[in-house]
Structures are given as C-alpha cells and as structure tokens.
Structure 1
Amino acid sequence: MKPSLFPNRRTFLRNTAATAGSIFLPNLLIGQEGTVKKVNVAGIGGAGGKGTSDVGISAKGANIVAICDVDRERLKQAQQKYPDAKMFENFREMFDAMGDKIDMCTVSTPDHAHYPAAMEAIKRGKHVCVQKPLVNRIWEANQLHETAKKKGVKTNMGNQGHTGKGIRFLKQWVSEGIVGNVQEIHVWTNRPIWPQGNEAKAKYINGTVPKIKEKTKGPDGKDIMVETAEDLFNWDTWLAACPSVPYTEGLHPFAWRGHREYGAGAMGDMGCHLLDGPFWACGLGEPYKMEAECHELTDVSWPKSSHVVFYFKTEKYGEIKLHWYEGSLKPERPAELDAERDWDKIRGGFLLRGDAGVILNTDDYCGSPRLIPNAKMSEFLGGKPPELKLEAALAEGEPQLELIRAIEQDKICGSNFDYSVPLTKLCLFGNLAIANPGKVINWDAAKQESDSAEANKLITRAAYRQGWDYSAANI
C-alpha cells in the first residue's frame, strides 16, 4: 500500500508537542466574576469503549468533572483514573447534581441514547461533542439540529477524519478540478465486525443482567472470581428513551451496533467516516432517491452485507451516483489501479470518479486520497509536496479537543451540527433503503418524508418512553 502524503495523528502530535504551547491559545475561560478557568467536561457514556478515549482526549485541555456510565465496573475504573470527578449512572441525575459545574459534554453512549443525552445537555445550555452517528433516526437528527441552534451552543461530532489534512486536500483538489466533473462515487467498508443478520437475531434473547464479579480465595487458597448480588450495569438506564423491555442478551457492551432499535448497523458506524470526504468535497446534500440490496436483514438486526445506491442532483456537478458497500461486498477493482496494488487487501475506502481522473482513498478517515495510477499523482504534484490552502482544524485528529478550543476561542468546529446533521442523515437515508431492500425510495427533502409508507415508519422511533419526549418545541 502506498504511504499517505500526510502525517498520521500520532506523528503530528509528536512533532508538534514541543511547540504546542506557542501555537494554541491557553485553555482558559473568563468566568462570570473575572476569574479564569478551564472548560469543565462531563463524559456521558464516558467510562468504557469509545467513551474512554473521548474523555481522555478532553482531559488534555479541560477538567473532567463528571463521568456518567451505566456499567458499574467501568465506573469504578474511571473513578480511579479521575479521582476528582463525580461518577453517575444516570445523566439526568448528573445534571441535577452538577449542572452549574459543567460547560461541555461528550456523548459516547450506544446510538439510541445519543439523542436524549445530547438533548438534555443542550437543554441545559451545555456545548456537546456527540459520537457518530449523531442519532439513529432522521426525525431526531432534525430536532437535535434545531435545538442546538435555538440554544446557541457549540457542537461537534466525533468523526475525527474531518479534522485532518487528508480531507482538506481532497476538498481542495476536487474543487480545483483534479478529476474534472464528478460522476460516480464508490465507498466500502469491511464492517460489520460484530454480529448482524441471523447470527445477531439468535443472540438477542431475554436473559438476566450479568452480576459484578469479585476476586476471592477459593478452598485451595487460590484466587477465584465469584458473582456478587450487584448487577453489572443499569439496564433500565441503558434503554434511555426507548420503551422498557426485559434485559436482552447480545447487546452490551459492543454488539448493540447490529440491533435495529439501538444501533445503526455498518452504515451508521462507518458512514460518517467514509462518506465524510466525498460528501464535503462534492457538496452532496440530500439524495432524491436511494435503493438497496442486502443479505440476511431481519426484523431486529441489520443485515450481514448491503449495497446501497444514492442519487444526487448537485449544484456544481449535476447528477452524481454514490454506491455504498458493506460486509463482504465492495466495488470492482478500478482499471486505473497500478498492477502491483493488492485490491483484496484494501478493506475500506472510496473511489471518486470524474470525467478527467479518479481519486482512491484507502483508509477509513480520508487520510490517503491520491490520483490513480501513481504516475498521474506524480505528474499532478510535479515533484513538490502538496500545498494545503484550506484552514487547519483547531485540533487535528481530536474532535473533542477541537470543541474545547472552539469554546475557548469562540470559533466553530468543522463537524458542527450544520455539517454533521446532514452527514448523519445521509447514513440514515441509507438505512431507510437497507430496511426496504429491492424498492426504490424517493425522498422529498422539503417534506422530510419518502414516497414509501413503510420507509416513513423508520423516520422516527415507533415509541418513546413516557417522560422522554425531547423535541425542539418543548426545549
């Protein structure tokens, strides 16, 4: 595989660590009485998985004052790492207890809980960095966007590729006409790497919440793990705004991604990364039509593999067709690819094809866009390193830190909700098609509905738990 033209996040941070203090403004805010203070951050879903890294990144430039997570073992570990932070299982209780001490929240819960957690934070005037996808229902995306604008908070989404150099070069080059008139885009991922289809459905059975295990001495004096009477995590709080149901196995802590109620499948998990570059560079907006074919879609689980086709009418390029592939599916090897490149080993990326050239990107975060064949890229560069003309992000590779700096400097993040809500919705349009395979779904952007009654049922959730009816109108 050809090396990237741009340094990765780790290299970038290492090379700039010595001078970071002179480049960035100090992490200080002016308080109400003229005092200076760092941003106070609360991590919702912040004690495990992606939440651990989201809180860890935030800690580089802010105070971690609270962590909320339904997993009690993870909370114990988080308390050891952040001894001065308060720990909570319920984000509403966290805000009731500490609302005046929190400036910003990271939201790193399972997809279904992004919406109520973010809406509660925004309702209380907190800035938010929400993991991708922002939500897993189109109606929720629109409400989240409207509410953030209404409350005037700063926002960001956790699609770190949008802070990088690669996506900026892509937008710059496409705008300058490097591939001519864009006609077709192919995007693919090897996800899901968690159970989906029939395998997932078989795992989603009613069960009993696991118990916390503690180390003790066995009869022979050796250490053994025994169950306590305490549940490992708070299932009722995990459900958030979703209707109360018995505990379901096969979800916590990772495989909820494959569940149609709680996750958004491979499209939701990776779409906001892989679609980001083409979406921004080509000004795609909302498709007017989409269709899909898939393998092993069930009533409760997203399929094992899918191929979705989106149709766009763009202001600059006219008609563009975008293909999305997931699971075992991917596009055919492009004829322009150099013979020595092993197409089978490229597990995710995108091809952006115009009438004057083709760009291939071979990572998940738009870090390696290049013209193919290599000779064409070399000719384009003319023996010189590429010159980036677009403004750099406030924090490369770290959207949580980007938001902290945006708060401090009164700036706007690159993946703020004006941008990331439409990007998230593109993924959710794909899921509308995946949930209705073999049908052409025509989308009316003005009405925010399709011509399919079945597809329209998925625009919002079938039911919300009583007392969890968040909307822009009631905030």
Structure 2
Amino acid sequence: TSGLCPYNWRFWWDYGTGETGNWCCHILEIPFWALDLTYPEKVSATGPAVDPERTSKGMDVVFDFPAIEGRGPVKLYWSHGGFNQAIREYRDQFPNIRMGNNFFVGTKGVISCDFDWHEVHLFDKTAEYQKPEETIPPSPGFHREWINAIKGGEPATCNFDFSGKIAEAGLLGNAAYRVGAAEPIRWNWKEMKSPDCAAIDEFNYPNYRKGWEIG
C-alpha cells in the first residue's frame, strides 16, 4: 500500500526500526570509528509514549561505553525529532558553529561534523588549532571496496565485523525505548541480555510463527 511502500515501511515495528535503526548505522559510523567504540555497557532511552505499531517520531538515547587503552569512558547521545539538549551549552558558546550529524565534546574543544565536512572550535580562543597528519588513506568508493574484498583484497572499510556493532547499538536503543528504560540499564553484549531488565528479551528473542523460526 502507499502507506508502506516504497519508504514508509521503516516506521512500522512489524517491518522496520524507525529513524534510529534507519540512520544510526550511517551517522554513528563516525564516532564508532574515531573513538574505537565496540559495545555499550549501559543504555537508556526516552521519547513520546510508545506506540505498539508505529515507530517513534522522536527519541533520545544515551549509550555508555567503557574505557579502553588510550581513552577514557565515552557517553554517546543519539537524538532524532528534536535538538539534543546535551549540546545546547556548546551551541551557545560557539554561536557561529555549523551543526552537523555529529558533535564531539573533548577536553580542549568541540568538533562538529557531517559525512563530508568538519569544524574544530577550541575552548581557549587564543589557542591555535594544529591539524594532525592524515593517516586514513582515501577510499576508492564503497562499490570498489566491496568488489576488491570479493576478489580477495582488503576487507571493505565498513565490513560486517565493524558495521554490525553500530547496527546492534541502534537496535538496542530501540529496545530500551520500547521497555521504558528512562534510567540506564546494564547491557551484557556477550549474552545479549540485560541483568536489570528481563523485558528487553522480548525484542532480542522474539517468538516467531511456526515455519518462520530461526536456527
């Protein structure tokens, strides 16, 4: 029907995962790559009242990632359907900043960026930004990367080992929203369960109709 095809099927829980599942695998690639993120250890989500059939038009998700060698813990915010309040103070501090899909807050300043541009703004207005040397080789394009990988070359940049973690985070955010986890719940990624919220199992281990089971 016109209410589902060709695009709107994404906004029905029976078929899709809403804007979070639809876009996080693209937008969150930047922080996952830049900060070497893997699996969150805590998650919380808020938004409008849950509709059992339709995905949410707005959602705020907070992921807590553990510290690893070379960096401390990371708090990652996902928002759609409105402006994220967590970065409002920095927008006020840098009124001319260009807002993109991603916003990093560090100890010395902030970075606002999108898929093809970035801006760096330092808290110390007298300091001069020193651009680091480029270490990531230019991509020949994702089609060529895919073909090269098929032919036995280097794995594609966004291979399943990397991109699967991003998709999993987005789906976890949806599940946290649907169970009403407004306060952080712990997440055991190895077991795909939360020791704080058994209700989340409904979305990770659904009961499929006979004949449609997995495994």
* TM-score, L = length of structure 2: 0.84
Q: What residue in structure 1 maps to residue 106 of structure 2?
A: 354
More helix by share: 1
Instruction: Say if 2:154 is the partner of 1:423.
Output: no
Unaligned 5+ runs, structure 1? 1-209, 211-248
CA-to-partner distance for each residue in 1:20-40, whole Å, 9 max, x for gaps?
A: xxxxxxxxxxxxxxxxxxxxx
Residues 1:256 and 1:295: Cα distance change in structure 2 (over 3 Å): same
| Contact 1:283 1:314 (C-alpha < 8 Å) held by counterparts | no
CA-to-partner distance for each residue in 1:219-263, whole Å, 9 max, x for gaps?
A: xxxxxxxxxxxxxxxxxxxxxxxxxxxxxx721211111111211
The 1-side partners of 2:90 and 2:5 are apart by 39
Instruction: Give, in angstroms, the shift of residue 436 of structure 1.
Output: 2.0
Instruction: Say if 2:75 is the partner of 1:321.
Output: yes
The 2-side partners of 1:434 and 1:340 are apart by 33
Residues 1:340 and 1:432: Cα distance change in structure 2 (over 3 Å): same
Alignment partner for residue 449 of structure 1, among 193, 196, 204? 193
Unaligned 5+ runs, structure 2? none
For 2:189, the aligned partner's letter is A
Which protein shows a greater Rg?
1
For 1:429, the aligned partner's letter is L
Residues 1:270 and 1:322: Cα distance change in structure 2 (over 3 Å): same
Instruction: Give, in angstroms, the shift of residue 465 of structure 1.
Output: 5.8
The 2-side partners of 1:465 and 1:387 are apart by 56
| Contact 1:297 1:304 (C-alpha < 8 Å) held by counterparts | no
The 1-side partners of 2:176 and 2:134 are apart by 37
Instruction: Give, in angstroms, the shift of residue 375 of structure 1.
Output: 9.1
Alignment partner for residue 28 of structure 2, among 272, 275, 278? 275
Residues 1:335 and 1:327: Cα distance change in structure 2 (over 3 Å): closer
Instruction: Say if 2:10 is the partner of 1:257.
Output: yes
| Contact 2:108 2:123 (C-alpha < 8 Å) held by counterparts | no
Instruction: Say if 2:19 is the partner of 1:266.
Output: yes
The 2-side partners of 1:340 and 1:313 are apart by 33
| Contact 1:307 1:323 (C-alpha < 8 Å) held by counterparts | yes
The 2-side partners of 1:464 and 1:414 are apart by 36
Number of residue-to-residue matches in the alignment: 209
Q: How does 1:144-163 map to 2 (within 5 A)?
A: none
Residues 1:318 and 1:415: Cα distance change in structure 2 (over 3 Å): same
- Aligned-CA RMSD value: 2.6
Q: How does 1:45-444 map to 2 (within 5 A)?
A: 250-315=3-68, 316-331=70-85, 332-334=88-90, 338-341=94-97, 346=99, 348-361=100-113, 363=114, 365=115, 367-373=116-122, 379-381=128-130, 387-395=133-141, 399-408=142-151, 410-437=153-180, 438-444=182-188
For 2:187, the aligned partner's letter is W
Residues 1:432 and 1:253: Cα distance change in structure 2 (over 3 Å): same
Q: What residue in structure 2 maps to residue 162 of structure 1?
A: none
Instruction: Give, in angstroms, the shift of residue 335 of structure 1.
Output: 5.1
More strand by share: 1
Instruction: Give, in angstroms, the shift of residue 333 of structure 1.
Output: 4.7
